Chain A
Amino acid sequence: MSIFERFFRWFSKVLSPRKGKGDPLASLLHKLIAQLKDTRQIELGCDEVLAQLAQFAEMALRGEDMAKLMPLVKHHLDMCKDCSEEYAALLRILQSAI
């Protein structure tokens, strides 16, 4: 990289507006607001998902389109880390039996 290119990079960096770096509140709000992107009017709770998880896992393993067939369960699994971890574990069990 030439000296000119290095200077150009540094200069561009200095001129560009800072976005969130060094501002903990902005960073925190960003993460919270990001959750709203996929928030839907109707969402299932963790217990409703657990009741359907076995069926969901078996169908997913058969290669069925779960976003289409059980969209609410799929959406919850995308939103809820606890349920998503449990789904991953259940899939591991079922896959081990294949």
Chain B
Amino acid sequence: MIMTAPGGRRGYNTHNMPERTNKIWLADLRNPGPAQEAALADLRGIIQTGLKYTLQTWLSPNDPRYPSLVEEVTQDTLLRVLDRLDSFEGRSKFTTWVHSIAVRLALTELRRSKWRDVSLESLLEKDSDNFREREVTEPQPNPEAQVERNLLIEQVKQMMLEELTEKQRNAMLAVVIHGMPIEEVARRMDTNRNALYKLMHDGRLKLKQRLAREGLSVEEVLGVFEVM
């Protein structure tokens, strides 16, 4: 466990800590000893101050999960920062880089907790039905347009079935249609967020290329499918 802030206080006044340049942060954190301990304690305060703003729109400070989440994310961030010091390229302030890591860890945890009880199967059940058997819409006053539209819907549906793997289709449905975070879909598919984003990107590219091969533009298809 990484040491607590001096005096073990929760709130942290960042105005009282020494100003460190990126170079000094790195030097202090790299060498075990009093300088490292002081830097870690200061960093801990900085992370926790940042988390207050990160969690603002997600979790009330009165929520019983709040203190343990802040503590857990702080610890994980400090460990990750120490582990990845060499990957800091100095293109931003060191503390901004640390905040970016803390933010990702915090939101990852919040997403996990929010979607904990939702299974991918239950989420996609209805979509699979829609893909298998399409609801017949009532007869339209403009039969020609309706026939044309139905043909296009079938054509696009077929493209999705042919061009996308089941994994790509499910990921896109879960993320785009149901708003499940990529991170959470990835967890359920035993992959990671980065890989899943790339998988969906490949799928989007394949679909776009197929539309072009069929002589269809995205705008044209959207115009026909537009929801009133």
| Residue interface bits B191-228, CB-to-A below 8 A is 1, else 0 | 00111011001001101100100000011011011111
Task: Please determine whether A17 and B140 come into contact, CB atoms closer than 8 angstroms.
Answer: yes
Whole-angstrom distance between the Cβ of A31 and the nearest chain B Cβ: 5
Q: Are A33 and B221 in contact, with the CB atoms below 8 A?
A: yes
Q: A86 touches which one: B107, B131, B140, B207 (CB < 8 A)?
A: B107
User: Tally of A-B residue pairs with Cβ under 8 A?
Assistant: 166
- Across the interface, A54 reaches (CB within 8 A) one of B91, B197, B198, namely B91
Query: B160 and A26: CB pair below 8 A?
Result: no
Interface segment out of the listed B26-34, B63-71, B173-181: B173-181
- Contact (Cβ within 8 A) B130 A17: no
CA distance A50 to B46 in the complex (A): 19
Q: Is the CB of B137 within 8 A of A23?
A: yes
Knowing A32-B172, A54-B92 touch, does A86 contact B100 (C-beta < 8 A)? yes
B 145-166 contacts with A by CB, 8 A: 145-146, 149, 153, 156-157, 160
Q: Which residues of B contact A27 (CB under 8 A)?
A: 225, 227
List B contacts of A50 (CB < 8 A). 100-101, 104
Contact call A18/B137, Cβ cutoff below 8 A: yes
A69 at the interface (CB under 8 A from B): no
With a CB–CB cut-off of 8 A, which chain B residues contact A89?
53-54, 57, 103, 106-107
Q: Do the beta carbons of A20 and B208 come within 8 Å of each other?
A: no
B79-95 vs A: 1/0 string, CB under 8 Å?
00000000101011100
The number of chain B residues touching the other chain, given as a range, is 35 or more
Residues of A in contact (CB 8 Å), total 49
Residue of B nearest to A81 (CB): B181
Question: Taking the nearest CB of chain A, how far is it from the CB of B61, in angstroms?
Answer: 15
Q: A77 interface residue, CB < 8 Å from B?
A: no
Determine the chain B residues whose CB is within 8 A of the CB of A17 once the complex forms: 140-142, 145-146, 149
Contact of B44 with A by CB under 8 A: no
* Interchain residue pairs with CB less than 8 A apart (10): A17-B142, A18-B146, A29-B156, A39-B201, A50-B104, A81-B175, A82-B193, A86-B103, A86-B104, A89-B54
